[in-house]
């Protein structure tokens, strides 16, 4: 019988394009300035954001660099903060995305967020109906599940953008760091609360190396008492956008090809998990969708993992399987200049083999939700933190030490 996920490799690129699709046309529209001498229309007035112009950048990666959005001389003031749009962005804005900017009078941003929400709902409905009609047949569930997740990601991103557009006038937005250190080391503590396992306390170690368009990462989680050990080695190659080590004035929009290998040993439970994974990860600066969303970004990744479980002892029935990898999130940049550089991301991860596991739900098994942040507080030192909630709860706090580079 054909495996339900056998056709997913063909859909990896498609799902990522669907998840980030609405931004392409919007970027072109935003690059067009109003006619000189004319009064701005109703939909243009509330933006009150600096006009932007495209400038050429050095080509990077396999495909080349993206033209960043940079302010022209003579910045116009940002829109003023109002309480009513914030309230409307939550109730009933969580159902009708775009009500936040619409209440503030920004009809252009509102229309784009409504279109983003509608696209997400359309993908979700287009995949959900065949799944229901076929009884979640193994012949179609894999590809349709990927399309459904793409719809959920668009719906979620539009909801977060709706709230951000309403509250963003209250503060000065951050920007993508012009450069990040070529080498970062992390060490800290991770706590896992899982009723199904005995492990609780972990030593968390990590390293990130940035080499032009390539990036190498390593992460180790070790429980000294139980011996539970998880090691992941991965890398990424930048296909589109400027490398993190030399972004310059770029806004962080990028597309990466990712890969990695995983080793997870459960000595008390008597089994071992190993595997490899490959996928695409895209980040989109939301200022390209609307000036009101300056300082925020959306991130989507899609891929496949090929894994095997090996059980200890003479009687071993090894199991091989594939897992659909899909994450999406909404984040903000922290800091504008100097050594303060960082970001925070609220995200959903569809994988089930990490410490949080999958959320226990009535229909299917979703992944887990998380919030992570990382910031360099000085030229050398910083902090990284993360919380995750699924079938288990995970919290981590780490110190970051940067080697090389300039603030």
Residue 161 sits in the same domain as residue 231: no
> What pLDDT band is residue 72 in, cutting at 50, 70 and 90?
very low
Residue 106 lies in a domain: yes
Mean pLDDT check: name the lowest of 14-18, 33-37, 109-113, 318-322.
33-37
What pLDDT does 76 receive?
55
Residue 250 sits in the same domain as residue 227: yes
Residue 203 sits in the same domain as residue 347: yes
Residue 178 lies in a domain: no
Whether 321 shows a pLDDT value over 50: the answer reads yes
In this predicted model, which residue has the larger pLDDT, 406 or 120? 120
Residue 334 sits in the same domain as residue 292: yes
Residue 358 sits in the same domain as residue 383: yes
Residue 3 lies in a domain: no
Where does a domain end: 143, 170, 197?
Answer: 170
Whether 55 shows a pLDDT value over 80: the answer reads no
Residue 218 sits in the same domain as residue 334: yes
User: Residue 291: which of 100, 77, 48 has the closest Cα?
Assistant: 48
- Angle at 363 (CA atoms; ends 357, 367), nearest 5 degrees: 25
State the Rg of the chain over Cα.
22
Beta bridge partners, 231, equal 220, 263
Mean pLDDT check: name the lowest of 62-66, 247-251, 349-353, 357-361.
62-66
Residue 350 sits in the same domain as residue 379: yes
| Cα–Cα distance list, 112 to 57, 118, 159 (Å) | 28, 10, 12
Residue 53 sits in the same domain as residue 21: yes
Average pLDDT in the 13-26 region? Answer: 44
Furthest-apart CA pair in the chain: how many Å? 83
User: Residue 183: which of 221, 205, 215, 213 has the closest Cα?
Assistant: 215
Residue 176 lies in a domain: no
Give, as one character, the DSSP assignment of residue 120.
Answer: H
The helix/strand/coil state of 5 is coil
> What pLDDT band is residue 85 in, cutting at 50, 70 and 90?
very high
Whether 119 shows a pLDDT value over 80: the answer reads yes
Where does a domain end: 122, 147, 170?
Answer: 170
Domains in the chain, number? 2
What pLDDT does 362 receive?
54
Residue 2 lies in a domain: no
CATH number of residue 225's parent domain: 2.40.160.40
Residue 306 lies in a domain: yes
Residue 1 lies in a domain: no
> What pLDDT band is residue 195 in, cutting at 50, 70 and 90?
confident
Whether 26 shows a pLDDT value over 80: the answer reads no
Whether 95 shows a pLDDT value over 60: the answer reads yes
| Cα–Cα distance list, 321 to 137, 210, 275, 307 (Å) | 18, 32, 10, 6
Residue 23 sits in the same domain as residue 124: yes
Q: With the CA atoms of 129, 132, 136 and 137 taken in that order, what torsion angle do they form, in degrees rounded to the nearest 10?
A: -80
Where does a domain end: 146, 170, 194?
Answer: 170
What pLDDT does 196 receive?
85
Whether 59 shows a pLDDT value over 80: the answer reads no
Mean pLDDT check: name the lowest of 2-16, 304-318, 329-343, 390-404.
2-16
> What pLDDT band is residue 405 in, cutting at 50, 70 and 90?
low
Residue 19 sits in the same domain as residue 157: yes
CB count in 10 Å sphere of residue 172? 11
pLDDT tens-digit readout, 206-225: 999 999 899 999 999 999 98
In this predicted model, which residue has the larger pLDDT, 137 or 301? 301
Mean pLDDT, the chain, as a whole number?
82
Whether 32 shows a pLDDT value over 70: the answer reads no
In this predicted model, which residue has the larger pLDDT, 315 or 135? 135
Joined together, the tokens standing for residue 128 give 């959900």
Residue 256 lies in a domain: yes
Cα atoms in the Cβ-side hemisphere of radius 13 Å centred on 343 = 23
What pLDDT does 169 receive?
92
- For 330, the domain range is 183-403
Cis peptide, bond prior to residue 92, ω within 30 of zero? yes
On whether the pTM is more than 0.85, the answer is: no
CB 289 within 8 A of CB 161: yes
Residue 190 sits in the same domain as residue 311: yes
The Cα–Cα gap between 329 and 331 comes to: 7
Whether 326 shows a pLDDT value over 70: the answer reads yes
Cα atoms in the Cβ-side hemisphere of radius 13 Å centred on 69 = 28
Element housing 374 (H / E):
strand 368-376
* Proportion of the chain above pLDDT 70, given as a percent: 78
Name the pairing type of β-strands 183-193 and 393-403: antiparallel
Average pLDDT in the 232-256 region? Answer: 94
The Cα–Cα gap between 150 and 45 comes to: 33
Residue 155 sits in the same domain as residue 217: no
Whether 14 shows a pLDDT value over 90: the answer reads no
What pLDDT does 15 receive?
46
The Cα–Cα gap between 330 and 343 comes to: 11
pLDDT tens-digit readout, 327-371: 999 999 999 877 888 999 999 999 988 999 988 775 567 899 999
């Amino acid at each position: 019988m054909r495996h339900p996920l056998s056709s997913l490799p063909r859909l990896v690129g498609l799902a990522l394009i669907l998840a980030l699709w609405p931004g392409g046309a919007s970027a072109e529209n935003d690059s067009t300035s109003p006619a000189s001498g004319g009064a701005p229309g109703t939909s243009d007035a509330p933006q009150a954001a600096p006009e932007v112009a495209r400038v050429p950048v050095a080509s990077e990666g396999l495909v080349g660099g993206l033209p960043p959005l940079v302010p022209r001389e003579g910045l116009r003031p940002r829109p003023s903060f109002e309480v009513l749009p914030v309230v409307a962005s939550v109730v009933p804005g969580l159902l009708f995305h775009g009500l936040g900017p619409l209440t503030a009078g920004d009809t252009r941003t509102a229309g784009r967020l409504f279109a983003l929400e509608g696209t997400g709902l359309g993908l979700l409905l287009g995949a959900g109906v065949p799944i229901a009609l076929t009884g979640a047949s193994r012949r179609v569930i894999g590809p349709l599940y990927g399309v459904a997740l793409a719809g959920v990601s668009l719906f979620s991103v539009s909801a977060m953008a709706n709230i951000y557009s309403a509250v963003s006038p209250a503060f000065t937005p951050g920007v993508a760091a012009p450069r990040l250190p070529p080498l970062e080391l992390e060490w800290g503590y991770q706590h896992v609360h899982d009723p199904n396992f005995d492990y609780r306390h972990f030593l968390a170690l990590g390293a990130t190396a940035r080499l032009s368009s390539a990036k190498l990462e390593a992460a180790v989680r070790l429980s000294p008492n139980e011996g539970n050990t998880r090691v992941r080695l991965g890398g990424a190659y930048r296909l589109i956008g400027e490398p993190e080590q030399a972004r310059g004035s770029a806004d962080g929009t990028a597309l990466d090809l990712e890969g990695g290998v995983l080793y997870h040993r459960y000595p008390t439970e008597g089994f071992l998990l190993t595997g490899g994974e490959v996928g695409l990860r895209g980040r989109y600066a939301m200022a390209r969708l609307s000036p009101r969303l300056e300082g925020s970004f959306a991130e989507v990744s899609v891929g496949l993992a090929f894994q095997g479980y090996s059980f200890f002892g003479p009687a071993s029935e090894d199991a091989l399987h594939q897992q659909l990898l899909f994450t999406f999130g909404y984040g903000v940049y922290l800091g504008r200049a100097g050594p303060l550089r960082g970001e925070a991301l609220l995200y959903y991860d569809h994988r089930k083999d990490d410490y949080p596991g999958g959320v226990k739900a009535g229909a299917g098994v979703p992944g887990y939700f998380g919030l992570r942040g990382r910031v360099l507080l000085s030229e050398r030192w910083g902090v990284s933190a993360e919380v995750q909630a699924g079938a288990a709860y995970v919290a981590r706090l780490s110190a970051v030490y940067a080697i090389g580079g300039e603030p």
